[in-house]
Each structure stands twice: as C-alpha cells, then as structure tokens.
C-alpha cells in the first residue's frame, strides 16, 4: 500500500510537470515592428504622410520667409515712418507670428490624425492576423518579440507575413 501511495504521488508529480511543460509550449512570439515596417500598405501610408508633410513644410517655410522679409523691411523703414505706422506694422508682425504658430500646430494635428487614420486599421489587420495564426498553430499566448528580453521559442513573424500576403 505504501508503494502504491509513492507511485501515485510520483504519477501526480510527473503529470503536473508535464502540464507545466505543455503550458510553456503554448507561447510564441512575433516581431510586430518588423511586420509593420515591411508591410506594403504601411509603406504606402508612409508615402502619403511624407507627401502631406512636404506640402505642410513648404507652406510653413513660405510663411516664415514672408515673415522674415517683412521684419527686415519694417526694421529698415522704422526710422522714416511715423509712430502710428510702426505700431500698425508691429501688430501686423504679431498677427503673422500667430498665424504661423497656428498653422504649424494645425499641420501637426492633421498629420497625427492622418497617421492614426492610416495606421489604426492596419494595426487591427496585423492583430487579427496574429490571432488567426496563433490560434491555428495552437498557441494560447503570442507576445511581441520586439519588447522581450529573451525570445527563445516559436517565432510566428514569417507565418503572419504570409497570412497578410507579403
């Protein structure tokens, strides 16, 4: 009877260890940043953002150059015009500064919104693909390998890329 208890305890211990090993085997990782940097739709979206940014930068630069030209002109003419004209010009320069700052802030917000509009659906698509591949391969957990200190296990990055079509 004592041998039976020992055998039963040993069997429970072995089954418990087996469950631990099985749980560890159901974890995989994927490099989301690699997928996102090489995904064709993300690259197309980045081109759109770059084009929009270039447009905003050109307009901003034009506004700043106009502002600087007026300041130079107004400084050169300051001693030859009346105090009232100088005050009007000072107000005009302040208004230009405000328009430039407002334009820069508006452009940054629009770029951030555009980036969000482009990237959010793509991230959802990647997330859905990771879930699909992970479940199909029998994994309970799929971690982002780019933020792991040790990623020594199944890597699903290539499978997710294949599922996304690139």
* Per-block mean pLDDT, blocks of 10 residues, the chain (166 long): 55 57 73 94 96 97 97 93 94 97 98 96 97 96 88 91 93
CA 121 – CA 129 distance, rounded (Å): 12
Count the residues in the chain. 166
CB 71 within 8 A of CB 86: no
Domain that residue 25 falls in:
2-164
The predicted structure's pLDDT at residue 90: 95
Nearby residues of 85 by Cβ (< 8 Å), 6 or more positions away: none
Domain count, the chain: 1
The predicted structure's pLDDT at residue 63: 97
Question: Which of 120, 119, 141, 121 has the alpha carbon at shortest distance from 130?
Answer: 141
The predicted structure's pLDDT at residue 154: 93
CB 23 within 8 A of CB 150: no
The predicted structure's pLDDT at residue 21: 52
The predicted structure's pLDDT at residue 151: 80
């Amino acid at each position: 009877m004592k041998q039976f208890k020992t055998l039963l305890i040993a069997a429970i211990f072995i089954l418990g260890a087996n469950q631990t090993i099985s749980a560890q085997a159901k974890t995989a990782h994927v490099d989301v940043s690699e997928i996102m940097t090489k995904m064709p739709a993300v690259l197309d979206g980045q081109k759109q953002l770059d084009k929009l940014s270039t447009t905003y930068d050109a307009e901003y630069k034009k506004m700043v150059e106009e502002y600087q030209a007026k300041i130079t002109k107004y400084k050169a003419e300051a001693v030859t015009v009346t105090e009232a004209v100088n005050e009007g010009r000072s107000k005009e320069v302040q208004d230009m500064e405000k328009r430039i700052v407002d334009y820069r802030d508006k452009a940054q917000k629009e770029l951030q919104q555009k980036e969000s509009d482009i990237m959010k659906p793509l991230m959802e698509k990647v997330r859905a693909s990771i879930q699909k591949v992970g479940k199909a391969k029998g994994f309970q957990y799929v971690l982002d390998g780019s933020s792991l200190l040790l990623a020594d296990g199944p890597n699903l990055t290539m499978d997710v890329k294949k599922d996304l079509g690139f």
